[in-house]
């Protein structure tokens, strides 16, 4: 077999020219296009990664904000609950104070009403007792309104301390109140008993006071000696009302 070196050389030159043409006009543009596309793909991937990172950051920020809002809401709810509890306790305390004040005022009013009623009752009882005593005394002899009280008055004067007795009747006349006007004999007898009780003379200034009902009352500067129904009734009513 004979080799045509010229033909082989020309074909080799043609192949080299073809390779050069392909390399210059085909491989380089294709390579550049591939490189550009790879760069664009990398840029898109980087942009997508940035978007994902931004989205992740936004999500984390949103979660953090939601957590902060939740904590703030919980704190506000707790504060509101504490304030409501304090306000309720303050209101309850105020209500208790007002209720206690109202009870105290009510008790005071009741005590005042009770005292007023007791006073009115005592006054009514006194008036009734005086009326009963007056009616009863009206059925007795008129002498009983004085005679039965003379000795008692003289004894009460005699029981006074000596210093008090000494000062009775030594100066101005001594006032004597009687349930009715005294007869001369009754006045003489009373003066004699008082002189005997005091140990010295006494000048009486006698007044009639039907409010005594029955009995006598000696009104000296340093002592008042009562021996009459009015004083007894007042004492009995005071004892009754004090235990009511």
Residue 210, pLDDT above cutoff 70: yes
Query: Left, alpha or beta for 199 (phi > 0: left; psi -120 to 50: alpha)?
Result: left
Model pTM above 0.85:
no
Number of domains present in the structure of the chain: 2
Sheet holding 174-178, edge to edge: 204-208, 174-178, 215-220, 223-228
CA separation (Å) from 12 to 7, 9, 18, 25? 8, 5, 10, 20
Is 127 domain-assigned?
Answer: no
For residues 52 and 153, state if they share a domain: no
For residues 226 and 154, state if they share a domain: yes
Averaged pLDDT for residues 136-147: 76
| 225 against 129, higher pLDDT | 225
CB 153, CB 218: distance < 8 Å: yes
Is 123 domain-assigned?
Answer: no
Is 126 domain-assigned?
Answer: no
Please report the pLDDT score of residue 148 as a whole number: 86
For residues 73 and 164, state if they share a domain: no
- CATH code at 148? 3.30.2320
Please report the pLDDT score of residue 225 as a whole number: 93
- Which pLDDT tens digit goes with each residue over 228-242? 888 888 887 777 766
> By residue range, what is the domain housing residue 48?
1-115
| 3 against 111, higher pLDDT | 111
For residues 103 and 196, state if they share a domain: no
CB 158, CB 223: distance < 8 Å: no
Averaged pLDDT for residues 67-90: 80
Tokens of 219: 């009104």
The length of the chain in residues reads 244
């Amino acid at each position: 077999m004979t080799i045509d070196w010229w033909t082989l050389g020309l074909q080799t030159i043609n192949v080299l020219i073809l390779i050069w043409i392909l390399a210059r006009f085909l491989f380089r543009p294709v390579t550049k296009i591939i490189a550009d596309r790879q760069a664009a793909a990398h840029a898109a991937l980087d942009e997508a990664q940035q978007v994902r990172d931004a989205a992740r950051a936004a999500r984390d920020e949103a979660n953090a904000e939601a957590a902060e809002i939740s904590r703030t809401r919980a704190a506000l709810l707790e504060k509101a609950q504490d304030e409501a509890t304090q306000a309720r306790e303050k209101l309850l305390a105020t209500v208790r104070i007002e209720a206690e004040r109202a009870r105290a005022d009510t008790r005071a009013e009741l005590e005042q009403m009770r005292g007023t009623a007791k006073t009115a009752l005592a006054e009514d009882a006194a008036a009734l007792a005086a009326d009963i005593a007056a009616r009863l005394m009206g059925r007795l002899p008129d002498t009983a309104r004085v005679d039965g009280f003379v000795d008692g008055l003289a004894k009460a004067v005699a029981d006074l301390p000596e210093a008090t007795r000494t000062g009775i009747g030594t100066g101005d006349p001594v006032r004597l109140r009687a349930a009715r006007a005294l007869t001369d004999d009754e006045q003489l007898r009373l003066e004699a008993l008082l002189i005997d009780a005091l140990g010295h003379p006494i000048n009486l200034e006698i007044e009639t006071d039907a409010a005594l009902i029955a009995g006598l009352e000696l009104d000296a500067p340093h002592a008042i000696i009562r021996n009459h129904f009015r004083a007894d009734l007042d004492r009995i009513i005071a004892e009754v009302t004090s235990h009511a």
